Amino acid sequence: MPKIALVHDWFNEAGGAEKVVREILHCYPEADVFCLFDFFDQTNRDYYLFGKKTHTSFIQHFPLVRQNYRTLFPFFPKAIESLDLKDYDIIISSSSCVAKGVKRKEGQLHISYCHSPARYAWDLKEEYLRVTKSPIAKSILKYFFEKLRKWDLKSSDRVDFFIANSSFVQDRIQKFFHRKSTVIYPPVNVEMKTTFGERSNEYITVSRLVTYKNVDLIVEAFRQMPELKLEIAGDGPMRRKILKNLPPNVTYLGYVDDETKQKKISKAKAFVAAATEDFGISIVEAQSYGTPVIIPSLGGYKETVNTDTGVFFHQKTVDNMVAAIREFHNNNKEFRREHFENNIKPFSIERFRSEFKAFVDDKIDKHIASKQQ
């Protein structure tokens, strides 16, 4: 049996990418796991990694890494290249930053599941720069973003086969890396969920509070609609900025457990998001509660939402959001449970396992056969 290494960017918070790692390990439970750093507690380790310990890079030992890891991105390329994978036959990377850039030796097969080319190296770098006020800091960031971009392009040659998590990401892989890829949508629990009582008139957004999620823009939209209420669930480096001047109609819930999140989403009038998502697992999950979504007509959302399950706004601006939310609120359109169920079926966990394993097994078999010739 070939020896498999699974490389993920990091394990700090559990999100959509970590759900993909879990299902890859379900397909290949014998794989050893590598990453830049790992701060999972035992609960997350047991669920997402099936109790496995990971092999980490030198970044693991930097002080205050868990809270400030995003500022360490200039070290990421060297750190991922420092991982020693010479004893493995197959490398599977789960990459939204640098995992796909691991070094390999001749004769190894590398398949990369690409959640996204590194966002701050490519098309979303301006969104990261807009929150930086100092001109000097912006110049420094631009320098390192450009350096990461060049490394990201060069290191893409270390991948034999790319899997994209959406057609949107497939286009970006072609545009930035000049490489073809195969789309396999990520795994989502698409079973229609039990609702918890009647719906309220409150809107909700559940998100990591990071720059590209644009939660601050959602807050500003609701500031202009004082008659409507919004709840925000999640945590992250943008929390302080978002909490600095919350309008009275917006409530910050902080990080919420799964049970609370499920109850909030199932009772919300609608789920609001404002990112350019590569896929958007949370949006598919919201639909599994029969909850309409209000999202930009951008990125992966165009593949996971239709007009029977949500409402689109066409630009990520406060005015566009306000217009879309007000129209949704006043129209009282009836959303039918069967429409949600039919729309999210293609994103099931079982479908991911089947498609991913078939793709990887085929490449492994051909790789082994070519070495035996």
pLDDT value of residue 14: 87
Residue 129 has pLDDT above 90, yes or no: no
| For the chain, percent of residues with pLDDT exceeding 70 | 96
DSSP assignment, residue 353?
Answer: H
pLDDT in tens, 132-185: 666 777 787 788 888 999 999 999 999 999 999 999 999 999 999 999 999 999
The Cβ of residue 22 has, within 10 Å, a number of other Cβ atoms equal to 16
Closest by Cα among 50, 73, 53, 48 to 62: 73
pLDDT in tens, 182-199: 999 999 999 998 776 688
The Cβ of residue 258 has, within 10 Å, a number of other Cβ atoms equal to 8
Q: How far is CA 163 from CA 44, 92, 206, in A?
A: 25, 10, 27
Residue 92 has pLDDT above 80, yes or no: yes
pLDDT value of residue 236: 87
Which residues have a Cβ under 8 Å from the Cβ of 59 and sit 6 or more positions away?
Answer: 36, 37, 65, 69, 72, 75, 76, 79
pLDDT value of residue 162: 98
Q: What's the CA dihedral at 235, 238, 240, 241 to 10 degrees?
A: -140
Residue 99 has pLDDT above 70, yes or no: yes
Residue 4 has pLDDT above 80, yes or no: yes
pLDDT in tens, 261-287: 989 999 999 999 999 889 989 999 999
Residue 321 has pLDDT above 80, yes or no: yes
Model pTM score:
0.89
CA–CA separation, 221 vs 242, rounded Å?
13
CA–CA separation, 17 vs 100, rounded Å?
14
CATH number at 202-347 = 3.40.50.2000
Phi (first) and psi of residue 369, to 5 degrees:
-65, -40
pLDDT value of residue 76: 96
Per DSSP, the three-state class of 203 is strand
pLDDT value of residue 196: 62
* Identical topology for domains 4-187+348-372 and 202-347: yes
Phi (first) and psi of residue 347, to 5 degrees:
-110, 25
pLDDT value of residue 224: 97
pLDDT in tens, 202-240: 999 999 898 889 999 999 999 999 999 999 999 988 899
Domain regions of the chain by residue span: 4-187+348-372, 202-347
96 CB burial (10 A radius; 0-12, 13-18, 19+)? buried
**Average pLDDT, integer, range 1-13:** 95
Phi (first) and psi of residue 253, to 5 degrees:
-90, -15
The Cβ of residue 53 has, within 10 Å, a number of other Cβ atoms equal to 11
Q: How far is CA 23 from CA 31, 39, 113, 302, 303, in A?
A: 12, 20, 12, 24, 21
Sheet holding 181-183, edge to edge: 54-56, 32-35, 4-8, 90-95, 109-114, 161-164, 181-183
Q: Which CATH architecture describes the domain 4-187+348-372?
A: 3-Layer(aba) Sandwich (3.40)
Tell me the two tokens of residue 285.
């999950």
pLDDT value of residue 178: 97
pLDDT value of residue 133: 64
Q: How far is CA 288 from CA 239, 292, 293, 345, in A?
A: 27, 10, 11, 10
Residue 128 has pLDDT above 80, yes or no: no
Q: For the chain, what is the mean pLDDT?
A: 92
CA–CA separation, 226 vs 79, rounded Å?
47
Residue 373 has pLDDT above 90, yes or no: no
The Cβ of residue 62 has, within 10 Å, a number of other Cβ atoms equal to 15
N-term to C-term CA, the chain: 18
pLDDT value of residue 126: 62
